[in-house]
Chain A
C-alpha cells in the first residue's frame, strides 16, 4: 500500500515538475515578448498571457495526440503548451520564414497543424464554429479525437459562441469549449459586458455538460480538462469548461490600463499568480526551482536570438498560399 502511494506521489511530483517548467517557459517567453516589443523589435499587435498560464498548461497537457484546438488573439501560451518550439513561435513574432506560420500569420494567427493548432484567431469567437465542425468530423469518421476551443469571457457575448454551442450540443460532437474567464473584455469589465456573474450558466441554455475550475490552479485545470476531454471523446457530447483566471497584464503589450484600479493588478500578482500557487504546494528545493527558472529564461533568450537571425520572407512570397 505504501509502495502504491509512493508511486502515485512520484507521478504527481513528476507532473508538477512538468507543469511548473511549462508555466515558467511561457512566463519567460511572454516577458521577452514584452521586452522586445518595447525595444521596438516586434511589429504588429501583441497580447501576452501572463497570469493565464495554468489554463493553457492544464488543458494542453490533458490533450492527446490527434486532438486539435483553436486559440485566440492571446495565443502564445496555448501554442507553447501544446509543444510548438519557442524558437518557431518567436520567429513568427519576428515575421520570419522559420516561424510556425512562416511569417504569414503573426502573433494573432499562430498555427502549428502538425501539433493540432488549427490557428489563433483575431476575431473574438471566430474559431468556435470550426471547432464544432472539427468535432463533428471526428464523430462522423469514428476518430477518437477531440476539438478544443479556447476563448474569453468577452466571446460569450458574440453570436458565434451561441451558434457553435447550440450546434455542438445538438449534434453531440467531440468538442470541448474552454472559457478563460479573465473578467475583462479588452478594457471593459465584466460588470459592463456580462448580464450574469456565473458564466457556467451559459451552458444551461444548451443543455450542455459543464464544469468550473480555479484557472490559477494548474493541477485542478488539468484534472477538469482530462475529465472534459474523456467525456467528449467517449461520444457523450461536448463540454463547457469554465476556468476562472486573471490577466496580470494589460490587454495588449503597451496598454496603459487607465481603466483598471491601480492596486488590482498588484494584489492579483501577490495572490493569484499560478506559478506561485503551484510552487507553494511543491516539495521542490529552492535551488532546483531556481535552476528550472534559469533554464526557462535561457530557452526564451535563445528563442529571441534564433528569431533575430531568422530568414526574412521575400516580399513576393506574399503572393503564395492564397489558393491551394
Chain B
C-alpha cells in the first residue's frame, strides 16, 4: 500500500477525477505554477494544462460564482479558497446562490460544485488566517459540509464530494497536510454522511473533528494509561450528519465529550450536543463536555495562540470531568 500525506491525498483525488472526467477542473488563487499556497496542487499544471488548472485573480466572489455557473452547465468544478477566512468574501455566492438555486428553481437546477478551503491555528498566522468557520455553513440548508482528518478520509471524501450533485464545502486543516498514512492502491470513495470510529472504547465517547481528532486520540491513549477506555468518533461529514453512529456510541459509553478547534460558542459541537442529549438523554450519566477555542480571535504571539486553541490536554481534562461526575 502506498503511503500518502494528507496533502498528497487531496492531490491524488483531484488528479484521478480529472484523468477520468473532462468536466472536472480546478481553479483558485496561485494554484497553477505555484501549486497552491499549501502546495496541494503542485504538479497538476504540468499534467492537465492551464485550461483545467486555472489561476484566478484575487476575486473570491468570482471564483465561487464562476464555479456555480460552470456547475450549472453540467461541469464538476473544484474551486479553492486559499484560506477559509476568505470564504467570508464569497459568502453571498455560497449562501444565496450555490445553496439555493436548486430550491428556488423547484428542482430544475443542480450545482455540483466543490469548494475546497483550509484553515486552522498552530503556526501563528494571526487572526485572519487561522479561523475555523465550518459551523457557519452547517447552518445553511442546501450545502453539504465535509471536514476530513486523515489522508484516507480526505481522499475518499473529496472524490465523493466532486461527484455529489450538491455544493460541498470541503474543509482541510492546515496542520494536517504533512501527516502520512498508508492508503489503498485504489481510491475508495467514502460516502458523505458516514462517521468513522477511530478507536473503540467503553467509558467515554469523544466526538471530534479536524485536528482535534488527533488530539483526542492522544488524550485517549493517556486516559487508557489511567484505566479510562475512550471511544473516538469523527463525523467526517458535518452535513449530512451521521447521527446514528454518534448516538449509538454514546448509548454504549454513557458519557460524551465534543471537541473541535473552532470557538465553543455556537460551534458545531453545540449541534452535536443537542443531538446527543435529545436522542440519548436517558443513557447519559454526565453532562456533555465541550472542548474548543476560547472566545477570542486567534492571537498572534505563539504563547497566546497556544493558550486559546485546544490541545490533547484539554480533551483529557474534559474526559476527567465527565468520568468524575
Which A residues are within 8 Å of any B CB, using their own CB? Answer: 68, 99, 101-105, 109, 111-114, 118-119, 121, 123, 126-138, 140-141, 147, 159-160, 163-164, 166-167, 170-171, 320-324
Q: Which residues of A contact B97 (CB under 8 A)?
A: 121, 123, 126-127, 129-130
**B99: min CB distance to chain A, Å:** 9
Complex CA gap A135/B225 in Å reads 60
Assuming A123-B96, A126-B92, A131-B69, is B106 touching A103 (CB within 8 A)?
yes
Q: Shortest Cβ distance from B57 into chain A, in angstroms?
A: 6
- In the docked arrangement, what's the CA distance between A128 and B61, Å? 10
Contacts A/B (CB < 8 Å), 18 sampled = A99-B106, A103-B106, A104-B103, A104-B106, A113-B109, A118-B109, A129-B62, A129-B66, A132-B66, A136-B66, A141-B75, A160-B62, A320-B107, A321-B105, A322-B141, A322-B142, A324-B110, A324-B164
8 Å CB contacts to A: which residues of B69-121? 69-75, 77, 92-93, 96-97, 101-110, 112
Of B54, B105, B142, which contacts A101 at CB under 8 A? B105
Q: Contact at A123–B92, with CB atoms within 8 Å?
A: yes
Q: In the complex, how many angstroms separate the beta carbon of B110 from the nearest chain A beta carbon?
A: 5
Residues of B within 8 A of A119 (CB): 101, 104-105, 109
Q: Are A102 and B106 in contact (CB under 8 A)?
A: yes
Q: What is the bound-complex CA distance between A37 and B107, given in angstroms?
A: 27
Binding site for A on B (CB under 8 A): 25, 51-52, 54, 56-57, 59, 61-62, 64-75, 77, 92-93, 96-97, 101-110, 112, 141-142, 144, 164-166
Q: How far is the CA of A128 from the CA of B97 in the complex (A)?
A: 11
What is the CA–CA distance of A170 and B103 in the complex, to the nearest angstrom?
A: 32
Contact of A167 among B62, B93, B142 (CB under 8 A): B62
- Decide: B73 and A109 in contact? CB cutoff 8 A: no
Which residues of the partner chain A approach B93 to less than 8 Å between Cβ atoms?
126, 129, 160
Contact of B57 among A133, A140, A167 (CB under 8 A): A167
Q: Are B66 and A101 touching (Cβ within 8 A)?
A: no
| Interface hub of A68, A99, A113, A136 (most chain B Cβ within 10 A) | A136
Asked if B166 and A128 make an inter-chain contact with CB atoms under 8 angstroms apart, the answer reads no
Which chain A residue shows the least CB distance to B103?
A321
Question: Looking at the complex, which one of B52, B102, B106 makes contact with A323 (CB distance below 8 Å)?
Answer: B102
9 further interface pairs, Cβ-Cβ under 8 Å (given A103-B106, A166-B59, A322-B102): A102-B106, A111-B109, A123-B97, A131-B69, A133-B73, A134-B73, A160-B61, A166-B62, A171-B54
Q: Which of B59, B68, B141 contacts A133 (CB 8 A)?
A: B68
Q: Which residues of B contact A321 (CB under 8 A)?
A: 102-103, 105-107
A175's nearest neighbour on chain B, judged by CB, is B69
- Once the chains bind, are B65 and A130 in contact (CB under 8 Å)? yes
A177 to chain B, nearest CB (A): 13
* Chain B nearest CB, measured from A130 CB (Å): 4
CA distance A112 to B109 in the complex (A): 9
CB of A163 within 8 A of CB of B75, answer: no
Closest 5 CB pairs of A and B: A129-B65, A133-B69, A102-B106, A133-B66, A130-B69
A136→B166 contact, CB < 8 A: no
Complex Cα spacing A252 to B57, Å: 36
**Residues of chain B with a CB closer than 8 A to A138's CB:** 73
Q: Which residues of B lie under 8 Å from residue A99 when comparing CB positions?
A: 106
A121 to B69 CA separation, bound complex (whole angstroms): 14
The residue from B65, B70, B144 contacting A128, defined by CB atoms under 8 A apart: B65
Q: Which of B65, B68, B93, B141 has the most CB of A within 10 A?
A: B65
Contact between A130 and B66 (Cβ–Cβ < 8 Å)? yes
A324 contacts across to B, CB distance below 8 A: 102, 110, 112, 164-166
Q: Select from chain B the residue with minimum beta-carbon distance to A313.
A: B106
For B77, list chain A residues within 8 Å (CB): 133
Interfacial chain A residues near B56, Cβ < 8 Å = 167
CA distance A37 to B167 in the complex (A): 36
Please give the distance in Å from B310's CB to the nearest CB on chain A: 32
Alpha-carbon separation in the docked complex, A104 to B107 (Å):
9
Contacts of B67 in A (CB 8 A): 133
Q: How far is the CB of A97 from chain B (nearest CB, A)?
A: 9
| B107 and A160 contact, CB distance less than 8 A | no
Compute how far the CA of A164 lies from the CA of B90 in the bound complex, rounded to whole angstroms: 13
Shortest Cβ distance from A101 into B: residue: B106
> In the complex, how many angstroms separate the beta carbon of B323 from the nearest chain A beta carbon?
39
B108 close to A129 (CB less than 8 A): no
With both beta carbons as reference points, the residue of chain A lying nearest to B98 in the complex is identified as A130
* Contact A126 B96, beta carbon cutoff 8 Å: yes
Specify which chain A residues have a CB less than 8 angstroms from the CB of B104 in the assembled complex: 101, 104-105, 109, 111, 119
Interface centre among A112, A132, A163 (most CB of B within 10 A): A163
- A106 and chain B: residue at smallest CB distance: B104
A127–B51 Cα distance when bound, in Å, is: 23
Query: Which A residues are in CB contact (< 8 Å) with B110?
Result: 324
Q: How far is the CB of A169 from chain B (nearest CB, A)?
A: 11
With both chains docked as a complex, state the minimum distance between the C-beta of B257 and any C-beta of chain A, in angstroms.
Answer: 30
Inter-subunit contact B62/A132 (CB<8 Å)? yes
Q: Is the CB of B70 within 8 A of A136?
A: yes
Q: Determine the distance from Cα of A170 to Cα of B141 in the docked complex, in whole angstroms.
A: 33
User: In the complex the two chains form, what is the Cα distance from A134 to B51 in whole Å?
Assistant: 15
Complex formed: what's the CA distance from A160 to B69 in Å?
13
B70 CB to closest chain A CB (Å) equals 4
Q: Can you name the residue of chain B whose Cβ is closest to the Cβ of A70?
A: B69
Cβ contacts under 8 Å, B164 to chain A = 324
Residues of B within 8 A of A135 (CB): 69
**Bound Cα distance from A123 to B101, whole angstroms:** 13
Report chain B residues within 8 Å CB of A320: 107
Is A134 a contact partner of B69 (Cβ separation < 8 A)?
A: yes
Q: Given A104-B106, A170-B57, is A136 in contact with B141 using a C-beta cutoff of 8 Å?
A: no
Give complex CA distance A68, B72 in Å. 11
